[in-house]
Amino acid sequence: MTMTSLDPALLRPAPSRLSAKRYMDIALSSLILLAIWPVMLAIGLAVALTSRGPVFFVQTRVGLNGKTFRMIKFRSMYRDAEARRAEMLAQSDREGLCLKLRQDPRITPVGRVLRRWSLDELPQIFNVLKGDMSLVGPRPALVEEVRAYPEHAHLRHRVRPGITGLWQVSGRADVSFDEMIGLDLAYVRRASVRTDIWVMLRTVGAVLSGKGAY
């Protein structure tokens, strides 16, 4: 099935599947948070002691049904990173709308380690518990990126965005924008507890390999 022939009716997950996903998100996120809080504390100290600025980076992203929310991460960039975003766009190493640089000068030394192992994403556990995100789903995009989306790409917002997903286990930043949207829509069609468990298991290998992690 091509992008142009996608039937929006096929991209509406059953409410029962989404409810089951939500119950699993709450249970697993609570357990994960209990297990990793010492790691998160150590990361927070490392961020605070090695560069000026807040420990957390909070940014508006687009989530379920196109509604915006505030996504939280450990700060991995210098304080002026957002102000320098425009000048970096022309240097992006990734095709399409999303800015990705293999050697981004805005990233701190600690931030490079955090991004390599996806540790900067850990605070999004709080977004999951709040209900803004899921453990698995399409990556939440920036508002300005979503404004430039082709029409079919908005169908990815029919499920909660995720900390991990098909894009992350398929190469992350090495995947083009069009390929990412294709993966996101494939996920929307198959969103379920079973799919999420499969993606989470694959995430372990993706993080260890480091492919596309920049």
Contact 207, 116 (CB under 8 A): no
Q: Residue 66, Cβ neighbours under 10 Å: how many? A: 11
State the total domains in the chain. Answer: 1
What is the phi/psi pair of residue 177, to 5°? -60, -45
- The residue assigned the tokens 């150590």 is 42
Comparing CA positions, the residue from 163, 167, 169 lying closest to residue 204 is: 169
Domain presence at residue 214? no
How many CA atoms does the CB half-sphere of 20 hold within 13 Å? 12
Q: What band does 94 get if pLDDT is binned at 50, 70 and 90?
A: low
Alpha helices for 51-132 (secondary structure H): 85-88, 109-116, 124-130
Q: Which residue has the higher pLDDT, 61 or 98?
A: 61
31: exposed, middle or buried (C-beta count within 10 Å: 0-12, 13-18, 19+)? exposed
70: exposed, middle or buried (C-beta count within 10 Å: 0-12, 13-18, 19+)? exposed
The pLDDT, as a whole number, for residue 4 is 40
pLDDT at 150 over 80: yes
Domain presence at residue 213? no
What is the phi/psi pair of residue 104, to 5°? -80, 115
Read off the pLDDT of residues 7-54 as tens digits, 9 standing for 90 and up.
676 678 889 999 999 999 999 999 999 999 999 999 999 999 999 999
Read off the pLDDT of residues 104-130 as tens digits, 9 standing for 90 and up.
878 999 999 999 999 999 999 999 999
Q: What band does 175 get if pLDDT is binned at 50, 70 and 90?
A: confident
Alpha carbon distance 114, 112 (integer Å) = 5
- What's the pTM? 0.86
- What domain range includes position 40? 3-205
Domain presence at residue 158? yes
Domain presence at residue 210? no
Domain presence at residue 54? yes
Contact 44, 74 (CB under 8 A): yes
What is the phi/psi pair of residue 20, to 5°? -65, -40
Structure tokens at 8: 């929006």
- Residues in the chain, how many? 214
The pLDDT, as a whole number, for residue 174 is 78
Domain presence at residue 211? no
Domain presence at residue 142? yes
Is residue 170 classed as helix, strand or coil in its secondary structure? Answer: helix
Q: What band does 172 get if pLDDT is binned at 50, 70 and 90?
A: confident
The pLDDT, as a whole number, for residue 84 is 67
Domain presence at residue 197? yes
